[in-house]
Structure 1
Amino acid sequence: MKEFFKYVLATVVGIVISTFVIAIIFAAIIAGLVSSVGEEKAVAVKSNSVLYLDLDQVITERTPENSFAGLPIIGGGEEKSIGFNDLIKALKEAQTDDKIECVYINVSSPNAGMATMLEVRNAIIDFKKSKKPVIAYSEVYTQGAYYLASAANKVYLNPQGALEFKGFSSELTFFKGALDKLGIEAQIIRVGNYKSAVEPFINTKMSDYNRKQITAYVGGLYNTFLKEISETRKISTDSLFMIADGYKIQQPKDALAYKMVDALKYKDEVLDELRNITGKSKKSTVNTVSINDYIANLPKETSTSSDKVAVIYANGDIVGGEGSDQQIGSERISRAIRKARLDDDVKAIVLRVNSGGGSALASDVIWREIILSKKAKPVIASFGDVAASGGYYIGCAADSIFVQPNTITGSIGVFGIIPNFQNLLNNKLGITFDGVKTGQYADIMSVNRPLTAGERFIIQNDINQIYDTFIGRVADGRKKTKAQVDSIGGGHVWIGTDAVKNGLADRIGSFNDAIKSAAKKAKLSGYQVVEYPEKIDPFKAFLSNAKDNISVYYTKKELGENYLIYKQMQKAITNSGIQARMDYEIKIK
C-alpha cells in the first residue's frame, strides 16, 4: 500500500509539473506569435516607386495597433484594415517624397462609410496638387469604388469588366412577422415620431415619418455623391443623374462612351503605363510600396512646441464600462477626456465621433466630461460617417461642430424595447411561471408577461424625462430653446448639409479642419497632435475575447450578408436600459 501511494503521488506531481510546463510553453508560443505579428518591419521605399493604394480593405477611424488578419483563433478573422487618419497623413507625406512618382488606386468594393470615403477622396485630390499622376484601375467598380476612383487623374476599367452606376437605394429589414410566428411581442416605449429604430420590431413596412426622412437623407447622400464625381470627371450632375436613372452603363464600352472612364485596359497595359511613369523598361518590375507599409515608415510628428491638441476617438456603440476599440465605453472615453482636460500641455480637444448611439446613461456620463473640459479649454467636435442619437448627445456641448456634407446626424430621441415572451413560453413551449412579490411593481420589466398600464406609464415617464434632458443638453450646447430643438428632434435624422442649416452643426469641414480650428481657438502657432484613448493591446484583447471572436468569425462565415440581420436582432434583444441610438444600419445599394 505504501508503494501504491508513492506511485500515485509521483503521478500527480508529474501531471502538475507537466501541465505547468505545457502552460509556460503555450504562453511563450502565443507571446512569440503576438510579438512577431506586432513587429513593424521597416520597408525601404525605393526610388521611382509607385504608392499602392488598396482601398478595398476596411477603412477605420484609427489603424489597429496589430492586425491578426486571417487568424480566427486570435483576432476573429478580421480583414486587413487601415485608419483613414493615417491614410491621409501618408498621402500628404507622399506629395513631397521624391521617391514616390505616382499613386495607383486599387478599389472594387470599399469597406467604409460615405463620409470616410469623402475624407479619403479629398486627400487624393489634395495629393494631385503635387502634379504626380494618380491612376485608378479595376476589373469591377461598385458605386462606392467608382466614387473613390473618380478622384484620380485617369480611371481605367478592364475591357470585360463592369462599372455599377444606378443610383442609391436603402432597404430596411422588418422582424415583426418573424416575432409574431415565434410568439414574441416587442413592447415599445419611445419619444419622437421619427425615432424609427424600433420600427423593424413593430411594423412590416416603413412608417410615413420614416419614409419621409429616409427619402430626404438618401437623396442628400446621392446629391453629394453626384456633385463630387461631377467636379472631378467634368460631367454635369444632370448628365450623371440621367446616366444612372436610365441604367446607361451596362457594358464597359458604355462607361467609355459616357466618359465615366478614360480607357479600357488590361492589367498588363496599366503596368506598362506605370513603368513609363517611373522610368522602367518593359521587362523591369515596377517598384511599389503599399499604403500600409508606407504608413509604418512615416516619421513621427515632431514639434518644438510642448503645446498639444488632443484627439479623442469615440467610435462604435455607446456602452457602459470600458468598451473596446470598436465601442465607446463610458468609463474608458471619460477617462481619456479627463486625462486631456487635466494635462496642462493639452491646449485644445477634438472629439472625433463615429457612432449611431447606444446607452442614454453612458452618453450622459461622457457628455459631463465634455462640459467640464469646455470650461478649461476649447473643445471641437468632428463628426464622421454617423454621429446620431447618443453619438450626437456626446458631441452637442462642443464649442463648434464640424460635419461632412454626407455625415448622418441628429436622431435626437429615446426609446426602450421590452420583449414579451409569454406567448412563446406559455403556448408554444408549455413553460409557465408563478411567484410572489412584495409590491405591485416588484417585477417590473418582466419579460414573461405583457406590461401593465401602470408599468407602461412609469416607463414612459422615464423615457420622457430622458428625452427632456437630451433636448435640454442640445439646447444649452447649441444656444437654442428646448422648443427649437424639439422641432428638429423627435428622432429625425439629418445629413450634414441640413444639420448646418438647422443649427445642429456649425461647419462643413474635414477632420483636419476640426484640428486646425481647435488650434486656432487655442491661439496655437505650433503644436503636436496626441491621440486618446490608448489603443487596446491585441494580446489582452485576445485573452479576454477569444471565445467571442471565434463565435463571430464562424457566424459571419455561415450567414454571409445575412449576418447584418442577425446582428440587428441580437442587438435588440441584448440592449439593456434606455437607448439613445439609431439602431439600424445605413447600407446604400
Structure 2
Amino acid sequence: MRDFFKYLFASMLGFFLSIVIVCVIFFFIIVGLIASVDSDKTVTVSDNSVLFLNLDQPITERTPKNSFGNLPIVGSEGKTGIGLNDLLKSIKRAKNDDNIKCIYINVSSPEAGFATMREVRNALIDFKKSHKKIIAYSEVYTQGAYYLASAADKVYLNPEGALEFKGFSSQLTFFKGTLEKLGIEAQVIRVGNYKSAVEPFILDKMSDYNRKQVTAYVGGLYNTFLTDIAQTRAIQKDSLYLIADKYKIQQPQDALNYKMVDGLKYKDEILEELKTLSGRSKKDNIRSVSINDYAINNPADGTGKDKVAVIYANGEINGGEGSDNEIGSERISRAIRKARLDDDIKAIVLRINSPGGSALASDVIWREVILAKKVKPVMASFGDVAASGGYYIGCAADSIFVQPNTITGSIGVFGIIPNFQNLMTNKLGITFDGVKTGEFADIMSTNRPMTSGERFIIQNELNRIYSGFVSRVADGRKKSKAYIDSIGGGHVWIGTDAVQIGLADRIGSFNDAIASAAKKANIKDYKVVEYPEVIDPLKSLLSESTDKIKTYYTKQELGDNYPIYQQMKKVMTRSGIQMRMPFEAVIK
C-alpha cells in the first residue's frame, strides 16, 4: 500500500509539473504573438505636438526588441531603452516634420557613454537649424545630463534642484588585497607597459604608466566636454573650467548666476511654455509623443537597389555566437561574409563599440574584414570605445571615424592564469596529485604556480600575438611596425589624439561614416541595411533562462557592487590570451 501511494504521489507531482511547464511555454507563445502584432503598429502624431526626449533610458547601439513590454518577467530587462540609430534618425525626421513644433528634453542621469551623448547632442544642434526650439528641464542634472541639456535653446532647473558641475574623476578598483586574503595568486603575462587591464589583480594602486595614460584620456574627455558646452552656452571655456574647479555651483541660484541655466522653474511653468511653443492655448492640453513611440514610424533608410550594410559589433569579444551585447566571432564574421557576398551591397560600415576581448576571436573577425575590403569599401565607425580587440577588428578598414571623446588604441595583449594552490591547500585542506607523460602536459594548471619554463612558453606566445597585432595595424594604417609599436604597448588614446597619431582618419559621426562608404562606392541612391539581425528576447530568454535568472538575482542582491563581482568573476573564468583595454575605469 505504501508503494501504491508513493507512485500515486509521484505521478501527481509529475502531472502537476508538466501542467506548469506547458502553461509557461503557452504564456511565452502568447506574449510572442502579441509582440509580433505590436511590432507592426504605427503611431499617430497630432499636429502641434511636442517631441518628448527621455534621455534617462539606456541608449544602446540598436533599439532592442521587446517581446515582454513592461511585464515583470525575471531574467528579462525592465528597461528596453532606445537605439542610437533610431534616436538620431528620429531627431533628423522631426526637424522637417510639420507636426513637431518643439522638443522637450528630460534628463537627470543618462545611461550612455560620452561619444554616444555627443552624437545625440550634435543631432539636437542640427535640429535647431529648423528654427524649432528645444527646452531642457530637470530637477537634478548630473554632468552627463547637463552635457546633453546644454544643447537646448533653454535650460531650466527646478528652484530646489541641483546641477552637478565639478570636473571629471576616474576611479579604478583593485583586487590584489582581496586575492591575497583568499589565497589566490594572479599570474600575469603581458606585452606593453600600458596594458593595465591586469593591474587590478597584481597592484593596489595605478602604475606610473597607467596613471599617465588615464590622466591623458580623462583630460581629453574633459576638454571635449567643456569645449562643447562653451559653444552652445556662450560661456568661455576657461570660465567653465574655473566654475568646476572651484565648485561654484552649489545652489540652484548659482547655476543661474553663472548662466549655466536660463531659469529656475517648476514643472507647471515648463508645461505652459511648451504650450506656447507648440501653438496650444492655455486651456488646451499639450499634445506630445515620446521619442520611443515616434521612432516606431521611422522609415527604412533610403531607397533603391544599391545598399550600404551597417554591421554592429557591440560588447566584449568572444568566440561563438555572442548576443546583441556581446560580440561573438561566429555571428559577426558571418554577418560580414553575408554582406561581402551580396552583390546589391556596395559598401560596408563596421560600427564598433567594444573594449576588446579574446585575441583569437578578434582575429577571426579581422580576417572577414580583410576579405570584404578586397571587393568593396569598408569603413569603421567607433562609438564610445573601440580599444584593444575592438581596435583590432576595425584597423583594416579603408577609413576609421571617431568622436573626439572615443576611447581607442590599447594595442597590447595579456594573459592571467590564477593559482589557487594556497586557497585550496592552506585554507580548504584540498591537495592535488597526478601523473603526466610530458614536462608541459599540465601547462596552464591553476592548482600550482607556473614554472619558469611554462612562463617562457606563454610569454613567447604573447610576443608572437602582439607582433601580429602590430603588423595588422601597420598594414591597415599604412605605417611601419616600429612606429605602431612606439604608440602601442597597450597605450589608450582618445579620438582627437588617435587622429593626430594616425590610428584613426577623421573626427566624424556614425552617419558621416555611412555617407563616406557610399561615396567611395560611387552610389547616391542607396538603402541602409543592418546586420546581424537583432535577437528576439523571447528566444534569448528561453535559450539562456538559467544564466539570465542567476544574473538578475545577483544584481538584485549586490546592487552597486555587482560590477566589482563581475570583474572578479571574469578574470577567474576567462580563458585564452586577451586583447582588452584597462579594466573598467569609472569616469564621473
Q: CA deviation digits over 1:410-433, x for unaligned, max 9? A: 000000000011111111111111
When residues 464 and 404 of structure 1 are mapped into structure 2, their CA distance, relative to the original with a 3 A threshold, is: same
Contact kept in structure 1, 2:336 and 2:368, CA below 8 Å: yes
Q: Residue in 2 aligned with 1:436?
A: 435
Q: Does 1:30 align with 2:28?
A: yes
Cα distance, 1:174 vs structure 2 = 0.5
Q: Would the aligned equivalents of 1:72 and 1:549 in 2 still touch at CA under 8 Å?
A: no
Residue aligning to 1:125:
125
Task: Quote the Cα distance in structure 1 between the aligned partners of 2:478 and 2:208.
Answer: 31
- The question of whether the paired residues in 2 share the 8 Å contact of 1:157 and 1:261 is answered with yes
Q: More displaced, 274-283 or 310-319? A: 274-283
CA 1:318 to 1:158, structure 2 compared with 1: closer, same or farther past 3 Å? same
Alignment CA distance shift 1:166-1:17 (3 Å)? closer
Question: Larger deviation: 404-413 or 428-437?
Answer: 428-437
Q: Say if 1:68 and 1:78, in contact at 8 Å, map to a contact too.
A: no
Q: Tell me, in whole angstroms, the C-alpha distance in 1 between the residues paired with 2:587 and 2:21.
A: 48
User: What is the identity, as a one-letter code, of the residue corresponding to 1:346?
Assistant: I
Task: Provide the secondary structure at the position in 2 that maps to 1:392.
Answer: helix
| Residue pair 2:60, 2:82 contacting (<8 A) in 1 also | yes
The C-alpha deviation readout for 1:187-212, integer Å capped at 9, x for no partner, is 00000000000000000000000000
Q: CA deviation at 1:37?
A: 4.2
Distance in 2 (CA, whole Å) between partners of 1:399 and 1:423 is 51
5+ residue gaps, structure 2, are none
The reply to whether residue 344 of structure 1 matches residue 356 of structure 2 is no
- State which drifts further: 20-29 or 320-329: 20-29
- The residue aligned with 1:193 is 193
**Match of 1:323, as an amino acid?**
G
SS of alignment partner, residue 383 of structure 2:
strand
RMSD of aligned alpha carbons? 1.9
Percent of pairs identical after alignment? 71
Aligned to 1:311: 310
The letter of the residue matching 2:550 is S
Residue 145 of structure 1 is matched in structure 2 by 145
Counterpart code for 1:308: K
Q: Which amino acid aligns with 2:557?
A: E
Aligned-pair CA distance for 1:481: 1.1
Q: Judging changes above 3 Å, is the alpha-carbon distance between structure 1 residues 208 and 67 closer, same or farther for their aligned structure 2 residues?
A: farther
Q: Give the Cα–Cα distance (whole angstroms) in 1 for the partners of residues 114 and 7 of structure 2.
A: 66
Further displaced range: 555-564 or 141-150 = 555-564
C-alpha distance in structure 1 between counterparts of 2:463 and 2:299, whole Å: 52
How far the C-alpha of 1:35 sits from its partner, in A, is 2.9
Indicate the residue corresponding to 1:549 in structure 2: 548
Say if 2:192 and 2:488, in contact at 8 Å, map to a contact too. Answer: yes
Matched, 1:562 2:582: no
Label 1:177 to 1:8 Cα distance change in 2 as closer, same or farther (>3 A): closer
Contact in 1 for aligned 2:109/2:145 (Cα 8 Å): yes
Q: Which moved more, 1:20-29 or 1:313-322?
A: 20-29
Cα distance, 1:21 vs structure 2: 5.8
Q: Secondary structure of 1:376's partner?
A: coil
For 2:151 and 2:410, the matched residues in 1 are separated by 31
Aligned partner of residue 108 in structure 2, secondary structure = coil
Does the CA-based 8 Å contact 1:69-1:79 persist in structure 2? no
1:169 is aligned with what amino acid?
A: S
TM-score by length of 2: 0.96
- Residues 420, 448 of structure 1: 8 Å contact kept: yes
**Matching residue's letter, 1:153:** D
SS at match of 1:73: coil
For 1:398, what is the secondary structure of its paired residue? coil
SS at structure 2 position matched to 1:530: strand
Residue 285 of structure 1 deviates from its aligned partner by 1.6
1:20 Cα offset (Å) = 5.7
**CA distances 1:546-567 after superposition (whole Å, capped 9, x unpaired):** 2222222222222222111111
In structure 1, give the amino acid aligned to 2:32. V
Is contact 1:167–1:222 with CA below 8 Å preserved after alignment?
yes
Residue of structure 2 equivalent to 1:403: 402
1:381–1:395 CA contact under 8 A, matched in 2:
yes
Worse-matched range after superposition: 42-51 or 243-252: 42-51
Q: 1:547 to 1:154 in 2, by over 3 A?
A: same
For the structure 1 residues 302 and 397, does the alpha-carbon distance in structure 2 shift closer, same or farther, using more than 3 Å as the test?
A: closer
Offset of 1:36 from its aligned partner?
A: 2.6
Aligned letter for 1:307? D
Cα separation, partners in 2 of 1:96 and 1:415, compared to 1, 3 Å: same
- Inter-partner Cα distance in structure 2 for 1:37 and 1:562: 34
- Matches of 1:72 and 1:279, distance apart in 2: 39
Helix, strand or coil for the counterpart of 2:516?
A: helix
Partner of 2:268: 268
Aligned residues: 585
- The correspondence of residues 211-290 of structure 1 with structure 2, limited to 5 A, is 211-290=211-290
Which has the larger displacement, 104-113 or 429-438? Answer: 429-438
Correspondence 1:512-523 to 2 at 5 A: 512-523=511-522
**Correspondence 1:82 to 2:86:** no
- 8 Å Cα contact 2:306/2:527 also seen in 1: yes
Deviation of the 1:26 alpha carbon = 3.1
Matches of 1:408 and 1:257 in 2, distance apart? 34
Give the C-alpha shift of residue 468 in structure 1.
0.5
The farther-off stretch of 104-113 and 533-542 is 533-542
Q: Which residue of 1 aligns with 2:579?
A: 580
Deviation at 1:65, TM superposition (A): 1.6
| Deviations 1:223-264, CA, capped at 9 Å, x for gaps | 000000000000010000000000000000000000000000
Give the aligned residue type for 1:363.
S
Provide the rounded CA distance (Å) in 2 between the counterparts of 1:537 and 1:334.
20
Aligned equivalents of 1:189, 1:138: Cα separation in 2: 48
Name the structure 2 match of 1:356. Answer: 355
Residue by residue, what CA displacement relative to the aligned partner does 1:2-42 show, whole Å, maximum 9, x if unpaired?
A: xx99x999999988777666544432221112333452343
Which piece of structure 1 moves more, 253-262 or 576-585? 576-585
Report the 3-state secondary structure (helix = DSSP H, G, I; strand = E; otherwise coil) of the residue aligned with 1:157.
Answer: strand
2:347–2:378 contact (8 Å) kept in structure 1: yes
Amino acid paired to 1:225: F
**Amino acid across the alignment from 1:284:** D
- Find the aligned partners of 2:569 and 2:64 in 1 and give their Cα distance: 26
